[in-house]
Structure 1
Amino acid sequence: MPIPSHKVTICGIPELAQHCAVGVSHLLSIIDTHEPRPPALDDYFEVDHELIRFDDVVAEYPGFEACTPAHIEKVLLFGERAHSKAGSHVLVHCHAGVSRSTAAAAILMCQHAPGREVEAFLKLLELRKHGWPNTRMVEFADRLLKRDGAMMEGLVAYRRALLLAKPHLSEIIRNIGRGHELPT
């Protein structure tokens, strides 16, 4: 089975209008709890759309709603629907197209490809020129899909490959308070 079994596109809210006429069949929106519904979503007709709200944090912080296993269960149910339609084109977006959307795209690619988690995560390098998947989301998906750490290994492999190509990102990741996520 190829990774992914369906076409996957990743973007942020500002890019949504660019993709509404390219045959998207499934749209996964992951936005902050207080983010207004993006008006560009109105341009997506007759698509299977799932809107999930949680903030882009990788731990519990006061004033933020962190991802929970229930959120990832919704992502996986969405993935089941997308996977069941031949030739589906999945568009995944979050606010900037960097953290939650790349994590969700990787989760969707891993969902029906056990044993190919590293390959699925490395596919992100082709799908999005910049990204830093949300660790918390991947941890929950790894547990829910019973992958025994394989998805986390895929995430680390992706981050190593990304930082090899773009070493300057290490400093950016440290500056945004996520330096603990840098591979050792």
Structure 2
Amino acid sequence: MTLTFTFDPAVDPALRDGLVDLWTDASNAGGAIGFVPPVTREDIRPELVKHLAAMAEGRTRLVVGRDGDGRVGAAAFLAFNTHRLQRHWVWAYTVMVHPGLQGRGVGRELMAAVADAARTLDGIDAIRLGCRGGHGLERFYASCGYKEVGRVPAAIRVAPGDDRDDITMLLPLL
């Protein structure tokens, strides 16, 4: 399935609902995007509202992939740094691909669209992202050109007795 990626799409009810559905489905499939399954749309919605508020304030941008019927199949947010010495790079976060599309190259396409979007931003030289250990995500991001630049052991507590590394990855854009 081919997705069409858009940077800074218009936010309407269909996009909001699509993002909530994507985030819920990906989380419940074990995706490492801020929640531990099981989650409901009602669990996800307040976090999405925070993301949308940051977009409205100009602190965050969105890359979204939709199928031919307009359904949201992939998304990632780009957040600007507020510290004056770190404004030359952005964070990619809440990176998600619908579970039904995983293993088909959609994640790689999403990360390419994220890099393309970041290259259009004035003064941005790199993208950083954090990922949760234990999923092999660092291997996926490395295959997209990112390099591991930091790791904090056991920094993410998924559940009692289940601590994961917090891994920082970097993609230079120059």
Mark yes or no: TM-score above 0.5.
no
- TM-score scaled by structure 1? 0.33
Instruction: Judging by fraction of residues, say which structure has more helix.
Output: 1
Question: Which one has more relative contact order, counting CA pairs under 8 Å at least 6 apart?
Answer: 1
- TM-score scaled by structure 2? 0.35
